[in-house]
Amino acid sequence: MSIASLSREAWQFRDFIIASVKREFVARYRGTQLGVFWPIAHPLALIVIYTLVFSEIMRPRLPGHEERFAYSIYLTAGVLTWTLFADLLSRSVGVFVLNGNLMKKVSIPQIAFPVIATASSIVHFAIIFLIFLVFLLISGNFPGLPILAAAPVLGVVVLFALGLGVLLGTVNVFYRDVEQSTAIVIQFWFWLTPIVYPGEALPAAVKSVLRWNPLWPAVEAMQDIFVNKRFPEWSTLLYPLLVAIAFVTLARAAFNRLAPEIVDEL
């Protein structure tokens, strides 16, 4: 089945997808006294902690940057990008197993569930990202026009996470160790990406190896937008884009091959 066909199937069930995203969002905070405040409170706390700890207490300095919020912005831009990737990947890997009972009872195209996972991750990311932008405005560090470049950079991140996630999620139906292994790999992957540290601080030999990490250029591009307030080097995003397309292609092939057996295995 082609990507166009899968997209048409998902579009036909758009009402179900939208309702599922809303239900997941509400269910996460149901029963709490403050309700919808919590999606704002968590990212707000993260930004405040990074700002206080790194700009007022530890005061690390980025090479070539004297602005006191530079490292906090560098770290937050990297963490937000990583959070979007890791959240979407984690959701996608377990999405078929998690929704196994529903898939057995209701006639819904299986591809709808990765779409729901993607939309949910984007909604949660958007809340955090908007709060980050408010902080940049208040602190006088808004990047201006280069902010427009964030959309295509994040698009590459989402495409990569979705392709890899659906591929692993399809295999996870048959080998449940995949989900547990992915959780461990994600922890190591974080430290192999220049989020906490600048890539320039690494030895040349280590840097040349870690440059093959597809998330490296995407994270650097986001940091370039928000720290240096400039458009990223678009050529650096070609590699992660090609990797993302490759994984989407592999995911589609695996899904098409194994989709008829997925429900039987759940």
Name the residue range of residue 133's domain: 3-265
Closest-CA residue to 158 (of 194, 200, 199, 129): 129
User: What are 202's two structure tokens?
Assistant: 């690494």
Query: Residue holding tokens 């919808």?
Result: 36
Greater confidence, 244 or 68? Answer: 244
SS3 203: coil
d(CA 266, CA 252): 20
pLDDT digits (tens, 9 = 90+) for 154-211: 999 999 999 999 999 999 999 889 999 999 999 999 999 998 888 887 888 888 999 9
d(CA 128, CA 74): 15
pTM above 0.85, yes or no: yes
Residues in contact with 52: Cβ distance below 8 Å, sequence separation at least 6, in sequence order:
none
Residue pair 69/79 in contact by the 8 Å Cβ criterion: no
% of residues, the chain, pLDDT over 90: 42
d(CA 42, CA 23): 20
AA letter at 115:
V
- Is the pLDDT confidence value at 35 over 60? no
- Is the pLDDT confidence value at 58 over 80? no
* Banded pLDDT at 47 (limits 50, 70, 90): low
Q: How many residues does the chain have?
A: 266
> Distance from CA of residue 50 to its chain's centroid?
20
Q: What is the mean pLDDT of the chain?
A: 84
Domains of the chain: total: 1
Residue 139 is predicted with a pLDDT of 86
d(CA 206, CA 194): 12
Please work out, in degrees rounded to the nearest 5, the angle formed at the alpha carbon of residue 146 by the alpha carbons of 140 and 152. Answer: 130
pLDDT digits (tens, 9 = 90+) for 121-146: 998 899 889 888 988 998 899 999 99
